[in-house]
């Protein structure tokens, strides 16, 4: 039992990560979750175009809601990695490696979308079609 408890305290658990994020941000619905190769970090696509980030610390997770400008992303040393810089949380800076190139690309796109604030109504023109008036 002690060995299992020690293993559980040191290994990440995706289900527990989702529950921890839900406790930290109960109003945010998760659309998709992308974990790093070592399962030490999770990047979340949320229901309204926002992003979330979780970092595993044993059986607990550090949870962040990522807003515009809260993370900068650049290519990592290989196609399965990204380099992330969190201006407000420098201790999270690093290279995050994923299980596939597709996962790394998806997370890159997700993080790049956080760079531009979204129109709260979803459409800037107000008539529901998303087009800007001419002239």
User: Given this model, what pLDDT does residue 48 score?
Assistant: 81
Q: Are 111 and 98 in contact (CB under 8 A)?
A: no
Give the per-residue pLDDT at 133.
45
Tokens (6 digits) for 4: 């299992």
pLDDT for 12 equals 53
Positions of the chain with pLDDT lower than 50, given as ranges: 9-10, 122-135
Distance, CA of 53 to CA of 80 (rounded, Å): 18
Q: What are the Cα distances from residue 94, in Å, to 5, 52, 78?
A: 29, 16, 14
> What is the per-residue pLDDT for 98?
97
pTM to 2 decimal places: 0.75
What 126-131 contacts at long range (C-beta under 8 Å, 24+ apart), as own/partner pairs, is: none
d(CA 8, CA 22): 20
């Amino acid at each position: 039992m002690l060995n299992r408890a020690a293993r559980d305290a040191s290994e990440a658990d995706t289900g527990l990560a989702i529950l921890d994020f839900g406790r930290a941000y109960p109003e945010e619905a998760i659309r998709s979750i992308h974990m790093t190769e070592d399962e030490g970090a999770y990047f979340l696509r949320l229901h309204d175009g926002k992003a979330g980030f979780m970092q595993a610390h044993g059986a607990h997770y550090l949870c962040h809601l990522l807003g515009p400008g809260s993370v900068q992303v650049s290519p990592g040393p290989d196609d399965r990695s990204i380099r992330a810089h969190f201006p407000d949380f420098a201790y999270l800076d690093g290279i995050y490696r994923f299980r596939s190139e597709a996962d790394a690309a998806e997370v890159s796109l997700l993080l790049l979308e956080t760079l531009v604030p979204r129109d709260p109504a979803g459409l800037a023109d107000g008539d529901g079609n998303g087009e800007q008036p001419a002239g």
